[in-house]
Structure 1
Amino acid sequence: MYQTKPAAALLLAILLGLPGCQSSGSRLASKSPRVDKPTPAPAVEPAAYEAEATQPKPLPATDAEMAVADGLLQPVEVVPPPEELVSFDTTTLEEVVRSVIEYFPVIQQAAAGRGIASGQVLEASGAFDHKLEGFYESQPLDFYENHRGSLGIKRDTTWGGQTFAGYRIGRGVYEPWYLERETNKGGEFKAGFMAPLVRDRVIDANRAELWQAQVERTRIEALIQMAVIGATRDGSVAYWEWVAAGEKLRIAQDVLDLGIERRDFLEKQITAGEKKKIDRVDNRRIIVSREAKVVDAERKLRQAAAKLSLYLRGTDGRPLLITGLPSPDPFNTIGAATFGLDESDIALAQTNRPEPRELDLVNQQLRIALRQACNETWPDVDAGLLVGQDVGEPTSSKRDKSEFELEARLTLSVPLERRKAFGKVRQIRGKIAQVRAKQRLTLDKIAIDVRVAKAALEAAARRVEQTTEAVELAEQMKTAERRLFEAGQSELFNLNIREKQAAEAAAERVDALRDYHVALADYAAALGFETNSLPGEAGDDAG
C-alpha cells in the first residue's frame, strides 16, 4: 500500500527541534541593583477598561522589550549578615534619611514588588502570544494505510477573537467516512478567524487579567511610598533618640566635672580650716554617684547608636555603628510652631498619603473584575470565516479537493441558569462595598493622625519654651548657690541640690526637644511627606 514520504519525517523533526527555555549564567551571576527613591509609575487610565473600545495598550513584542521584562525576573542576591558592624564617627539626619531610602531592607522588599508586578503584566500579556500547534498521525499497518499531519499558528486577539492559519496534508487510503482528512498531494492551506458578537466583545478574561496587572503595577508604587514614609519616620525617631542620649551624656559629664573640679577647692578650704573634713567625704559620695550616672548615660548612648545602625547603612547595605557624639546644633533648633489646626492640613494629608490611592487602585481592579463577571452573564455568540485551498496534483479524478473553500460559522453557548456568573457578580459587589467602607475609615484615620500629630507638635513646642526658661532659672540658682558656698555662707548639701536641679532641668529640656523632633517626624508622616521638612517651615534657634 501507500508508503510514508520524507516530508512527514521532516515535519516531525521540525516540531521536535523547537528550542525550549534556556537559562543564562550571566543572569544568575548578576547582582541586584540598588533601590533608588521610588518614582511614580505611569498611571493606568480608567478608559482603558471602562470605555467601549476593545483595544488595550500595545503589548511587548520587540526583543529589547522582552529582554527588559526578563531582567525584572533576575534572582536577588542574598547577602549574609555581617559578623561585625562597621564603625562610623557621626552622622546627620539627612544622611540617615538618604540611607533609609536607598538601602533599608523594608523599602527594598517593597520595591521588589515592582518585579513581581511587571512579571504579572508579562504573564497576562502571554495570553496574546502566538501559539504554534501541530500533530502527526500515521496508520501504517491496516487495510486503510494513511498518514496525516498539520502545522499552524493561532492567536487570541486583543479584541476578544481568535485568528489562525496553517497547513495540513493527508495522504494514503482513508475510510469512506474519513475522506475529509484527505488532501491533494501538495496539501491544504487554511486561514480564518472567530469574533465574539455578544460576550467577550468589550472585555474578556485575557484583557481583564492584563488590565488588572497594569493597575497592580501602579498600586505597588503606593505600597513603596507607604514603606518609605514609615521607614523614614522610624529612622528619624531613632536618630533623635540617639541625639538625645548624647545630650544627656554631656549633661551627666558636665555635672560630674563640677564635683571633680570642686575637689581641689575643698582640700584647700579644709586645710585652711574653712570647711569640715566631712565635706570631703560628701563630695566623694557625690562624685561616685555622678560617675554611675555617666556610666548609665554611656550605656543608653551605645544602645541608641545600635538601634540607629538599623537605619544607617553603607553603600554595601551593612549597618554603620556610630561611635562618636552627635552634634547638638540641629537638636537645639526648632521651627516656628503654628498653633491651631488648619483644616487644609487634613485635605493635604488625604491627598498626599498613599493609603487612599492604594485603595482606589484596589477598587479599580475590582471594577475590572465586575465588568468581566457581568460579561460572563451574556450568551457566547461567535461568528467566523474559514478559507482553504488544496494545492498540488489532485487526489481523485473528481477533483473534489481542488476547489477554493469558504466556510462561515456561527456558534452559540450559554448556561441557562448562569449561576456561576451571577455568583461572581454578587461576590465582587460585596468586595467593592468592603473597599468603600475601608476607604471611609482610612480617610477618617488620616484626619485623626493629623490632629494627634499636630497636638503633640504644639505641646512639644510649648514644653521646649518652658523647659528652656527652667534651665535658665536653675543655672542662675546654681551660680548663686556656688558663690555662697565659696564665701562660706552655704553648705555642700545645698550646692549639690542646686546642681542636681540644674541637671534635671537640662535633662527635661532634652526630653522636650526630643519629643518635639519626634512629633515633627510624626506630623510629616501624617501629612504624607517622606522627610521631616515641612513646606514653609522656617527654623528658629530656641536654645
Structure 2
Amino acid sequence: MIRSSARVLLLALVAPAALALPGVPVQAQDIAPVGAPIDTALRQGTLQPEAVLRSSALTFPSILEAFEREAAARGDQLGADGAFDLMLKGEVYDRVTGFYNGGFVKGEARQGLRPFGADVFASYRVSDGTFPVYENINFTNALGEIKIGAMFSLLRDRRIDQRRFAIEDTRLAAGQASIDVLLVQLNVQQEALKAYWRWVAAGEEIRVFEELLEIAEARQVGLRRGVQEGARAAIALTENEQNLLRRRTLLEEARRNFTTAANSLSFFLRDSSGQMVIPRREQLPTLAQLGTLPATEELVAAERNEILEKRPELRTLRIATERAANRIELRRNDLQPSLDGKVEISRDFGQIGAGGPSFDSTDTVVGLTFSVPLQRREARGRLARAEAELRELELRERRIADQIEVEIDNILATLNAANRLTSLASDEVKQANTMVQAERNRFRLGAGDFFLVNLREEAAADARIRAIRAQLSGRIAATSYNAATINLPALGLE
C-alpha cells in the first residue's frame, strides 16, 4: 500500500515538470500517467530521453526505497511526539476479606508539557468502607476527592530532556530522509540518462560499421565480376575479402557493445509493474533528433554559492550538524544536578466519610527533590563524544563543499572540450568524406590504388566514430552538470 502511494505521489511531482531536455520538445500529450501509457511509450516508436526519465523516476526500486525510508522516518517522528500524549489511568482497590472492608476507585489524566519538562495531572478518587491506620490516606468524603497538580524541572531537564530531544531529532531525521529521496532521485536520473546516451551512441556506431561493410560487400560484387572478365587481378578480390572480414569483426564488436548498452539501459527502463524493458534498435533516435549540445556559457550562469546551497549532500550535513548540536545540549544537560518541583492541590466533596473531618479541607502540597552525581564521568564521556562528532561533521562539510566545486569545474572543462572536439570531428568527417569520394573517383578511372580507397573509407569511419564519442562525452557531461547543479526539470524531476 505504501509503495503504491509513493508511486502516485511521485507521479504528481514529476508530471508538471514536463520533463524538458535541451533540444527535445516535450508536449502535453507526452506526459503519461502510471500504467499502460508509460508501457506504450517504452515499447512503441522512437525512445526519447524524457520517456526514460519518466520510467526511472516512477518505477526504479532505489527511488521507491528512499520514499519508504522517508515514511519510516516520519513514523519515528510521530512516535517521538507520542511522549507528550495525554495519558489516562484507572485504578480499583478493594479488600475482599478481612476485618477492614475499604476500597476505592480512581481515575487520572496526565499530560506532558514541553516548558520545564513539566507534567500536569488531574485525578478523581472516591472510597467506601474502612481502612487500617496505615492506609488512612485512601479515605475520601462521600462524593470523592479531586486532585490537580504539576511536576517540573528547575535545573536538569529544564530546557531539554530525552523526550524533547527525541522530538526535535526525529523531525530533523525526517528532513534528512526527505533530502535523501532527492539525492537518490538525482543519482538515478543521472545514471539513467548516461545509460540512454551510451545506448544511442552504440546504435550510431553500428550504423557507421554497417555502412562501411555494405560498401565493401558491394565492391566485392564488382571486383568478382572484374576478375571473371579479366579486368582485375585475383589478388584484389582476396584483398577485399580480407577487408570484409575486418569490417565484419568491427560490426560484431559494435553489436556486442550495443547489446551491452541496451541491457544497461533496461536496468532503468521499467514498465508500470517494475519489470525491466530492453529497448530495441528500431527505437533508436538519430543524433539530429536529439538537438545540439548546450554551450558552456549557458551552464555557468548559475551562481556557485546558490549551487552549494541547494546540494543535497551539504543540506543533509547541515541538518546532521544541527542534530549533533542538539545532542551536545542534551549531554550538557546530563551534567547538571536534578532539582524537581511538585505542586498538588486536592479537595474532598460531600458528606464527611469514615476518615473523619481531617479530610474535609483543601490541601496544598509543595515539594522539592534534589540529586547530583558526584563524579559524572559517564555524562562527561558522552559530552566529549558528541563534541567530537560535531567537529567531524563541520570538517566533512568543508571537504564535500570543496569536492563539489572541483567536480563542477571538471564537468565544465569536459563539456567545453567535448563541444570543441565535436566541432573538430564534424570538420574531420567532412574532409574525410571528400577524400573518400576523390579516391573512389581516381580508382574508377584507374589512377588510384585499392589500398588507399580502403584506407580513406576507414579513416572517414574513424572520424565519424570520434564525432559520435565526442557527442557522447558532451551529453554525459551536460547530464552530470545538471545533476551537480540540481537542475530538476532537465532530470525529469520537479
Relative to the length of structure 2, the TM-score reads 0.85
2:419 and 2:351 mapped to 1: Cα distance?
Answer: 98
Pick the structure with more helix per residue.
Answer: 2
Q: Secondary structure at the match of 1:451?
A: helix
Aligned to 1:383: 341
1:336 aligns with: 295
Give 3-state SS (helix, strand or coil) of 2:53's partner.
Answer: helix
Give the 3-state SS of the residue equivalent to 1:320 in structure 2.
coil
> Partners in 1 of 2:315 and 2:466 — Cα distance?
41
Secondary structure of 1:140's counterpart equals coil
2:74 pairs, out of 118, 128, 149, with: 118
* 8 Å Cα contact 1:524-1:531 kept in structure 2: no
After TM superposition, give the deviation of residue 322 of structure 1 in Å. 0.8
Deviation at 1:92, TM superposition (A): 1.4
Report what 1:312 is aligned to. 269
Q: Displacement, 1:179?
A: 1.1
CA distance in 1, matches of 2:132, 2:469: 97
CA distance in 1, matches of 2:131, 2:406: 81
- C-alpha contact (below 8 Å) 1:35/1:111 kept by paired residues: no
Deviation, 1:161, is: 0.6
Q: Quick one: structure 1 residues 28 and 344, their matched pair in 2 at CA, closer, same or farther if it must change by over 3 Å?
A: closer
Among 244, 253, 256, the residue aligned to 1:287 = 244
Q: Secondary structure at the match of 2:217?
A: helix
Structure with bigger RCO (C-alpha 8 Å, 6+ apart): 2
| Alignment-derived partner of residue 495 in structure 1 | 453
Q: Which residue identity is paired with 2:414?
A: A
Aligned match of 1:408: 366
Q: Which residue does the alignment assign to 2:38?
A: none
Are 1:510 and 2:434 counterparts?
A: no
Q: Which residue number corresponds to residue 97 of structure 1?
A: 53
State yes or no: 1:34 paired with 2:8.
yes
Task: Indicate how the Cα distance of structure 1 residues 114 and 366 shifts in structure 2: closer, same or farther if over 3 A, else same.
Answer: same
Q: C-alpha distance in 2, partners of 1:425/1:38? A: 45
Using the TM superposition, give the Cα deviation of residue 343 of structure 1 relative to its aligned residue in structure 2, in angstroms.
10
How many residues are aligned here?
A: 461
CA drift of 1:247 comes to: 0.4
Note the 1:242-253 alignment, pairs <5 A. Answer: 242-253=199-210
1:418, 1:166 → 2: CA distance? 37
- Distance, in Å, in 2 between the alignment partners of 1:342 and 1:244 is 26
Letter in 1 for 2:294: G
Aligned equivalent of 1:472: 430
Equivalent residue in structure 2 for 1:425, among 383, 386, 399:
383
Report the CA distance between 1:38 and its aligned residue: 9.7
Q: Distance in 2 between matches of 1:488 and 1:453?
A: 51
| 1:31–1:453 Cα change, 3 Å | closer
Q: Read off the aligned partner of 2:59 and give its amino acid letter.
A: Y
2:176–2:316 Cα contact (<8 Å) kept: yes
Q: Distance in 2 between matches of 1:33 and 1:353?
A: 24
Match of 1:228 in 2: 185
Aligned CA distance change for structure 1 residues 509 and 30 (closer, same or farther; 3 Å): closer
Q: Quick one: which of 139, 146, 153 aligns to 1:189?
A: 146
2:429–2:464 CA contact under 8 A, matched in 1: yes
How far 1:422 sits from its partner (Å)? 3.0
Q: What residue is the counterpart of 1:275 in the other structure?
A: 232
User: Counterpart amino acid of 1:301?
Assistant: F
Which is worse superposed, 243-252 or 372-381? 372-381
Q: Per-residue deviation at 1:351? A: 2.2
Using the TM superposition, name which of 394-403 and 111-120 deviates more.
Answer: 394-403
Distance change >3 Å, CA 293–CA 37, structure 1 → 2: same
Distance 1:107 1:436 in 2: 28
Instruction: Give the AA of the match of 1:336.
Output: A
Q: Aligned partners of 2:205 and 2:2: how far apart in 1?
A: 50
Distance, in Å, in 1 between the alignment partners of 2:444 and 2:302 is 59
Provide the rounded CA distance (Å) in 2 between the counterparts of 1:477 and 1:201.
86
**SS of match in other structure, 1:529:** coil
Unaligned stretches of 5+ residues in structure 1: 1-26, 40-85, 534-543
CA contact (8 A) 1:196 1:383 kept: yes
Letter in 1 for 2:328: L
Aligned-pair distance for 1:234? 0.8
Is this contact kept in 2: 1:232–1:530, CA < 8 A? no
Report the counterpart of residue 396 of structure 1 in structure 2: 354
Distance in 1, Cα, partners of 2:12 & 2:397 = 24
1:155 to 101, 111, 118: 111
Change (3 A) 1:330 1:177: same
Name the SS of the counterpart of 2:389 in structure 1.
Answer: helix
Q: Distance in 2 between matches of 1:457 and 1:271?
A: 54
Paired amino acid for 2:74: S
CA distance in structure 2 between the aligned counterparts of 1:345 and 1:125, rounded to whole angstroms: 40
Cα distance change, pair 298–460 in 1 and its aligned pair in 2 (3 A): same
Query: Residue 256 of structure 2 aligns with which residue?
Result: 299
Local SS of the residue matching 1:411: strand
What residue identity is the alignment partner of 2:114? Answer: T
- In structure 2, relative to structure 1, the CA distance for the partners of 1:30 and 1:178 (3 Å cut) is same
Alpha-carbon distance in structure 2 between the residues aligned to 1:505 and 1:246:
16
Structure 2 gap segments, 5+ residues each: 14-41
Q: How many angstroms apart in 2 are the aligned matches of 1:317 and 1:135?
A: 54
Specify which of 152, 160, 178 is matched with residue 135 of structure 2. Answer: 178
User: What residue number does 2:88 align with?
Assistant: 132
Task: Assess if the C-alpha contact under 8 Å between 2:341 and 2:366 holds in 1.
Answer: yes
User: How far 1:122 sits from its partner (Å)?
Assistant: 0.5
SS in structure 1 at match of 2:159? coil
Provide the secondary structure at the position in 2 that maps to 1:406.
strand
- Judge conservation of contact 1:313–1:319 (CA < 8 Å) in 2: yes
What per-residue deviation string (whole Å, max 9, x for no partner) do you get for residues 177-200 of structure 1? 221122234332222222333333
Shift of 1:106: 1.2
Task: Give SS of 1:482's match.
Answer: helix
SS in 1 for 2:143: coil
Contact in 2 for aligned 1:243/1:331 (Cα 8 Å): no
**Is the deviation greater in 248-257 or in 395-404?**
395-404
Task: State the alpha-carbon separation in 1 of the partners of residues 355 and 477 from structure 2.
Answer: 95
2:8 maps to a residue whose letter is: R
In structure 1, which of residues 435, 454, 475 is the aligned counterpart of residue 412 of structure 2? 454
Alignment match of 1:482 (pick from 416, 433, 440): 440
Give the secondary-structure state (helix, strand or coil) at the position aligned to 1:199: coil
Change (3 A) 1:133 1:141: same
Give distance in 2, aligned partners of 1:28 and 1:108: 10
Q: Which secondary structure state, in structure 2, belongs to the residue aligned with residue 334 of structure 1?
A: coil
* Identity fraction in percent: 26
